[in-house]
Amino acid sequence: MKHIAISCDHAGFELKERIKQVLKEKQYDVTDFGPSTPERMDYPDAIHPLARAIESGQIPMGIIICGSGNGVAMTANKYPHVRAGLAWEPELAELTRQHNDANVLSLPARFITEETALKCVEKFLDTEFEGGRHEARVKKIEIPG
């Protein structure tokens, strides 16, 4: 069974719950880092635990959601081995995997439909990293030591 993490803020709560349901139907083991209600909350409180789990290798991939998708992506991308890519169209979700080896998909709940979000998730999960010419670029993403 494939393992995936999911997390959001209050703006992404309904979409998170729907995506989680679809992932479970597709036989994914889903770890939900919250929140557990749609009440207002600060997205870093839910995103840091997810990013730490991916950073440590405990969970290979994740999906994060907030109103614009930006705040959650900025938070997740503070971790050196997390590559969160923002997508609002399926092609962007596909390209962030193919070209950037993204291991986290960030979705903007206030700017996409549920149908589009689910297509983005499908493309993200079904796409492999191309490697090749992209591999050297991805290796340069981390701050040089």
76 contact partners, CB below 8 Å, separation of at least 6:
47, 50, 51, 54, 62, 64, 82, 84, 104, 106
pLDDT higher than 80, residue 1: no
* Residues 6 or more apart in contact with residue 22 via CB below 8 angstroms: 118, 121
Is the bond preceding 35 in cis, omega lying within 30 degrees of 0? yes
The rounded mean pLDDT for the chain is: 96
Residues of the chain with pLDDT > 90: what percent?
90
Catalytic residues: 66, 99
20-77 residue pLDDT tens? 999 999 999 999 999 999 999 999 999 999 999 999 999 999 999 999 999 999 999 9
Q: What local confidence, expressed as pLDDT, does residue 144 receive? A: 82
Rounded to whole angstroms, the Cα distance separating 126 from 113 reads: 20
Domains of the chain: 2-139 (3.40.1400.10)
Question: Residue 130 pLDDT more than 90?
Answer: no
Neighbours of 78 (CB within 10 A): 13
Q: What's residue 85's pLDDT?
A: 98
Find, among 20, 10, 22, 17, the residue nearest to 66 by Cα.
Answer: 10
Tell the residue number behind the tokens 């503070």, with chain if given. 78
Residues paired with 106 in a beta bridge: 64, 86
